[in-house]
Each structure stands twice: as C-alpha cells, then as structure tokens.
Structure 1
Amino acid sequence: MSGQSLGLIETVGMAAAVEAADAAMKSANVSLVGYELTKGGGMVTVKLEGEVGAVNAAVAAAISAASRVGRVYAHKVIARTAQHIEHIIHSSETVGIAQPESEAPTASPEPQSEEAPSQTIPVVNLDTSTHASCMDVVDDAPQSTEHEQQPNPSAENIEPAKPDAPQEVTKKSPRPGGKKR
C-alpha cells in the first residue's frame, strides 16, 4: 500500500455505498479495499486504492453515482499514503477483499488428525464377460415351449469355441405381456 493513493467515499446508507463502489471500479483501474460501517448514523465508508490519477477519476465517478441514489457525506483522496498508516486503512473493522501483502499469512495445509473419521468408498467389480443389455429381459418363471419352436442350429452355423477369446452370449427372451404392433 505504501506509495499508492487512497480514496475514501462516505455515504449515508449501504445502497449509496454499493453504487459508489460499483461506479468507482468500472470507471478506473483501482482496487477495492473494502467498506467500513460507522457506529451510528447509517454511514458507510468505501475505501479504494491505486495510482493517484485513477483514484481521482474513481472517486469523482463514485460521488456522481452515489448522489443519484442517496447522499454522499464526505470524500477524500490521499496521494501516496505514508508507510505506517496501513493499519488504519486495513483495520479489523474493514469488510473487504484486499489485504496488504506484508500482513497476509501464508496458508499451510492442516494435518489430518487421527481421530477424524475417514471416508471410505466401496469398490464394486463388474463382470464384463457377459454382454447384457438393459433391453434384455430375464424371466425366472419357466416358459412353455408348446407354441414356440426353437430353430435347431445346424452344424455349418456353429463356430468352434476358441479358448483365448471370450464367447459372446446372445440370449434374448421375449418381452412379457408385449404384443406385436
């Protein structure tokens, strides 16, 4: 943050503050530090940072946009902020997205504790040796073969079984209760 400019827009009400932040971000190359609520009076302070020219343009656009929605109470642009004022700008009261680089802790993965239950996923092995379809209907009840005659396979249509290759099973039974259309 040191060397960057700071823009502050104080509005009455959150709607005007959101409108100010939106207009500021769309109008210039600035970063939204966040917003801060006052302890009374419904005032919201929007904080921006960036190059001095960009911050000036963003604050001007924010004032214009927020004035149409609500009331702008105060505004200020501070060019090239001093080194040790980051603690005031990035206070614990500021709600926002940007944190100064020097204060950002590095995230380290937390070790898993031994007491935490582990989640296991069951493994199911599927038999892929048979070629079945969802359209195949298996009926466990014995069917009468009086009306149906199964053609006897002739010797010339039967291929010898190969021990290395999987054999294809093509057994289909008629659909129960199905009428031909």
Structure 2
Amino acid sequence: MPKLALGLIETVGLAAAMEAADTAVKSANVTLLGYENSKGGGLITVKLEGDVGAVKAAVEAGSAAASKINKVFSKQVIPRPHEEIEKLVYTKDTVGMTKSEIETEIKIEDQEAAETKMKDEVKAEVEVEEIKVEGEKEVEVENEEGAEVEVEEPVMEVVEETTDDDGEEALEFVNSTEEVCNLCKDPKCSRRKGDLRTNCIHYDELKEVVS
C-alpha cells in the first residue's frame, strides 16, 4: 500500500458511487478496494489503488461519470500514502476487497516476479558456462595446431652393473622421475641436477660408457 497511490471519490448516493467505481476501473489500471458508507447525508466513498498517474486518471473519469448521476461531494488522490493510513483505508465498514485478499494478490505477484528473476539468473549462468566451454575448446585446438607444450624429459637411473658381449662392465639405465642425480640416478650419489658432472660418483664410468 505505501508504494501505491490512494484515490477517493465521495458521491451522494450509492448509484453515483457505483457509476464512479465502474468508470474508474475501466479507464485506468487501478484496483478497486471497495466503498464505505459515511452514514450521514447519503455520502458514499469509493476507494481506489494503483500508480499515481493511473489513479489520477481514474479519479477524474469516475468523478465526471458520477456527476451525471448525482452530486460528487469531493475527490482526492494521495500519492504514496503513509503505512499508518492503512488503518483508515482497510476498515470493517469498507465493502469490497479485504486487506487479506489484496495481500494475497501482492504475494502472488511477488512470487511470479521472483520466479522470473530466478529463470533469468539460471539462463545467464548457462550462457556463461557455454562461453567457458567454447573457450576451452579453442585452447585445445591451438595446442593441437602447434602451440609449444612443455614435456618433461625422461631421466636415466642406474639399476645394476652388467657385462657386455666383450666382457667389459657396463651400466644399465631405466626411466625414473626420482629426485636424485640425473646422470647416474644412484641414490647414494650426492650430486643433483645442475651440479658439476665431475661431482657424480659414477662420472668416470659414465664417461667410458659414452665414449
């Protein structure tokens, strides 16, 4: 209620009030809250609710139509009335839509708006995921077409000493990824990758094998 405007048309007689209410709701997008009998002088007050512009148009049209039936005593538009005014609007003497019915309609509208918002958010998330997937596919294609990819070079590990066909001792090597000397791969060797080759305890043996 505080976010909407309140429109009031006070006529003499119920017939004029009915005409005012009918014309008002037909002329603009407003909600008819009902009417209240002032119990004096035959005055009937029609109560309307809606946006400020719509309520102004409805009140003017309703007043003009009611004046052809009987006298229009007064009319008023209150933009964004304070919430305390609800005590005067939703009274037990108001004939028509009750406050609970209006609150139910508002809840339904809010629920529909929330569902629409949720659907929009889900749709936006799906679009973002699709964009990410397309980006990943493009990166994969670039790699396949020749982008440089870092490949770890295999290192050699000395497993055991063997004897070749000539009867000379040789070193047998296998692939390994352990953090030891990258020349001899002997766990007892204190040399690490990047150190001088001469620090390797098997340097002389490896040198002979290579030569």
- The equivalent residue for 2:94 is 94
Unaligned runs of 5+ in 2: 105-211
- The equivalent residue for 1:115 is none
Unaligned runs of 5+ in 1: 105-181
- The equivalent residue for 1:43 is 43
The alpha-carbon distance between structure 1 residues 99 and 65, as it changes in their structure 2 partners (threshold 3 A), is same
Shift, 1:3, TM fit: 1.3
d(CA) in 2 for partners of 1:74 and 1:54?
Answer: 18
Shift, 1:101, TM fit: 6.5
Shift, 1:85, TM fit: 1.4
Alignment RMSD (CA, Å): 1.6
Shift, 1:48, TM fit: 0.2
Task: Tell me the amino acid that sits aligned with residue 21 of structure 1.
Answer: A
d(CA) in 2 for partners of 1:39 and 1:5?
Answer: 25
1:88-141 deviations in Å (ceiling 9; x for gaps): 10011111124256977xxxxxxxxxxxxxxxxxxxxxxxxxxxxxxxxxxxxx
Task: Tell me the amino acid that sits aligned with residue 83 of structure 2.
Answer: Q
- The equivalent residue for 2:69 is 69
d(CA) in 1 for partners of 2:102 and 2:19?
Answer: 30
Flag the structure with larger Rg.
Answer: 2
1:10, 1:43 within 8 Å by CA — same for their partners in 2?
yes
Q: Which has the higher strand share?
A: 2
TM-score of the aligned structures, taking structure 2 as reference length: 0.47
d(CA) in 1 for partners of 2:100 and 2:53?
Answer: 21
The alpha-carbon distance between structure 1 residues 50 and 102, as it changes in their structure 2 partners (threshold 3 A), is closer
Q: Which has the higher helix share?
A: 2
Shift, 1:30, TM fit: 0.3
d(CA) in 2 for partners of 1:93 and 1:71?
Answer: 22
After TM superposition, what 4+ stretches of structure 1 lie above 4 angstroms from structure 2? 100-104
1:19, 1:62 within 8 Å by CA — same for their partners in 2?
yes
d(CA) in 1 for partners of 2:102 and 2:63?
Answer: 31
d(CA) in 2 for partners of 1:100 and 1:7?
Answer: 20
Task: Tell me the amino acid that sits aligned with residue 37 of structure 1.
Answer: N
TM-score of the aligned structures, taking structure 1 as reference length: 0.55
d(CA) in 2 for partners of 1:22 and 1:101?
Answer: 20
Report 1 or 2 for greater relative contact order, CA contacts < 8 Å, sequence distance ≥ 6.
Answer: 1
d(CA) in 2 for partners of 1:99 and 1:53?
Answer: 23
Matches of residues 116-127 of structure 1 in structure 2 within 5 Å? none
- The equivalent residue for 1:119 is none
d(CA) in 1 for partners of 2:103 and 2:87?
Answer: 10
Shift, 1:51, TM fit: 0.3
Query: Percent of aligned positions with the same letter in both sequences?
Result: 56
